[in-house]
Amino acid sequence: MHVEEFIPNTPQKKIGEGSVGFTSPSNIALVKYWGKKPHQIPANPSISFTLNNCKTETFLRYTPKTSDGFSFEVYLDGKKQPEFRPKIEQFFERISIYSPFLANFHFDIETTNTFPHSSGIASSASGMSALAMCIVALEALVYEDSDAQFLKRKASFLARLGSGSACRSIEGGFVVWGAHSSILGSSDLEGVAFPFEVHEVFKDYQDAILLVDKGEKQVSSSVGHNLMHNHPFAKERFQQAHDHLDALIPILKSGDLNAFIHIIEREALTLHAMMMSSDPYFILMKPNTLKVINTLWSFRKETQIPICFTLDAGANVHVLYPKRYATEVEQFIQNKLSGYCQNGQYILDHVGKGVEPIKI
Ligand code: DP6
């Protein structure tokens, strides 16, 4: 698979002004992407499931123009957001060879999230995948391309260039990103639907996101990823991610929850162990993160309910559990864990379907 297939080679059609809109969800990684090579190539393969409720809704309004260069405004909840410009400018620069029509339009990018910005849940994943999908929808008009499957693949390819984890939000369910020898079709360039059988228990798996700390991230993911260069444990970590993904293939098929929990929690703690052992080192967990983990472990021991946690590059905790235990677990979260969340806040979510068009 080569990047060339994503460079258009047909003539552009002239189109007038208009708009396209998509919602795209966030996703939660089970095997984590942490460390990357140039051009947003992951240092190891990762797998996530796409969420349902934590979403970004983006409209891309386009007006033809003749001047050179990129021209755009970004709005969040109707307000201009100049601080988002550099990230989008960089994104446009990275993708302009694959979407050469971008300079022919002025864009108003209007976006809203269903979750608080910088709550530590991956708004870059949902935001960049929604924008990538809008750009690809415009591409379909400009090149009169109606190959829906190719366009979705291209959206994942472009989203990756905006934010790595975003390429796993286009498809629903379980998505793999990064070449893995046991997963035919897996690629460093785009997310692909996990191609093997998935047990019923995982098809509607639940994710309660506990907002332990909603502050701005202490360390951006880009800085964090870079700390894996020359990291003393990098080689072992990257190998471990390959091994964990191998181990997950039969687990996702059989529904063996104990084995699942073991890998998922190990991944979360390894991610943070990598941050704690980089140079410079940092701790993104907060005291309440550890309180949540310990309380969850006690609950699991007492009740034998197979819940577990995972973490992103922040203090918030994702509590994962099968739907059949939703009542007990949600009561436990409300009674015992919400006290460790800022303003008692948490978000209940579950496996979702990926990007969807918004009818305009
Ligand atoms: C810890 O996708 O946010 O959430 O490619 O620099 O935008 P960039 O990084 P990003 O990294 C996410 C890291 C993670 C693990 C994961 O989602 O796999």
Which residues constitute the domain of residue 28?
Answer: 3-196
SS3 assignment, position 17: coil
Q: Take residue 200 and report the two structure tokens written for it.
A: 């019923």
Task: Write down the pLDDT at residue 44.
Answer: 98
Domain end position, chosen among 166, 196, 226: 196
Strand partners, 349: 207
Contact 264, 30 (CB under 8 A): yes
pLDDT tens track for 298-340: 999 999 999 999 999 999 999 999 999 999 999 999 999 999 9
CA distance 60 to 48: 27
Going residue by residue through the chain (360 aa), what tens digit of pLDDT does each one get? 589 999 999 999 999 999 999 999 999 999 999 999 999 999 999 999 999 999 999 999 999 999 999 999 999 999 999 999 999 999 999 999 999 999 999 999 999 999 866 555 657 899 999 999 999 999 999 999 889 999 999 999 999 999 999 999 999 999 999 999 999 999 999 999 999 999 999 999 999 999 998 776 778 888 899 999 999 999 999 999 999 999 999 999 999 999 999 999 999 999 999 999 999 999 999 999 999 999 999 999 999 999 999 999 999 999 999 999 999 999 999 999 999 999 999 999 999 999 999 987
Closest CA to 167 of 204, 208, 133, 207: 133
Distance 224 CA to ligand 1 centre (A): 9
Residues 168 and 214 in one domain: no
Q: Take residue 105 and report the two structure tokens written for it.
A: 């339009």
Domain CATH number, residue 270: 3.30.70.890
pLDDT tens track for 127-137: 999 999 999 99
Residues 91 and 127 in one domain: yes
Q: Is residue 359 in some structural domain? A: no
Residues 191 and 245 in one domain: no
Pocket test for ligand 1, best of 28, 221, 269, 317 (most atoms within 8 A of CB): 221
- Tokens 């709550």 -> residue: 119
Residues 30 and 154 in one domain: yes
Q: Is residue 248 in some structural domain? A: yes
Mean pLDDT for the chain overall: 95
Residues 166 and 215 in one domain: no
Distance 34 CA to ligand 1 centre (A): 7
Residue 46 burial by Cβ neighbours in a 10 Å radius (0-12, 13-18, 19+) = buried
**Domains in the chain, number:** 2
Atom of ligand 1 nearest to the CA of 271: 1
Residues 215 and 339 in one domain: yes
Distance 42 CA to ligand 1 centre (A): 10
Residues 176 and 244 in one domain: no
